[in-house]
Amino acid sequence: MPPVRTPAGKIAAPMFPDGTPWVNVAMLRMEKQYGRPVLVEFFDVCRVSSMRTLPYVKAWAAKYPELRVISVHAPGFPPGRDEQLVRDAVARLGIEHPVALDPDFELWRAYDNPGWPARYLFAPRLRLSDVHHGEGDYHGCELAI
């Protein structure tokens, strides 16, 4: 059975909730990203699976300057709810792209996200073009980029 593919161009990028705390940027608005591809990645600094995906996400941010990479930290464990712990982890892990903090899972719910890690790639018109839940398919994601 072939894999189920995302209906390209049909789903609009959810906007970031007002008051979303950010790391590495003062604030970011999704609608201001119009005209460039955007990769939104849900992760948790306390999850091994997120840490295994991180090198790929960081590499794409460096390799494709036209791609806006945005990580969304959604805490799966109590330590991940500590904002300073997350900010320190982002610095220690060398994450230089914008990171949204989603401690109340507002953005998570807007995406109807099922788990960690998860990647959502939006085309320059901010329509979903590719999605992947879990680890793996790094080559497929890069081809989609």
What are 99-125's pLDDT values in tens digits? 999 999 999 999 999 999 999 999 999
Query: What's at 122, amino acid-wise?
Result: F
Do 128 and 120 meet the contact criterion of CB atoms below 8 Å apart?
A: yes
Strand partners, 133: 118
How far is it, in rounded angstroms, from Cα 117 to Cα 46?
Answer: 11
| Token pair listed for 79 | 């330590």
Q: What pLDDT, on a 0 to 100 scale, did the predictor assign at position 7?
A: 59
Please state, in angstroms and rounded to a whole number, the distance separating the CA atoms of residues 7 and 130.
8
Mean pLDDT of 15-37: 96
Task: Give SS3 for 130.
Answer: strand
| Contact between 109 and 81 (Cβ < 8 Å) | no
Q: What does DSSP assign to residue 73?
A: E
Is the overall model pTM greater than 0.85, yes or no? yes
* 8-state DSSP, 127: B
For 67-76, the pLDDT digits (tens) are 999 999 999 9
Given a cut of 80, is residue 126 above it in pLDDT?
A: yes
Average pLDDT, the chain: 94
Q: How far apart are CA 49 and CA 134, in angstroms?
A: 8
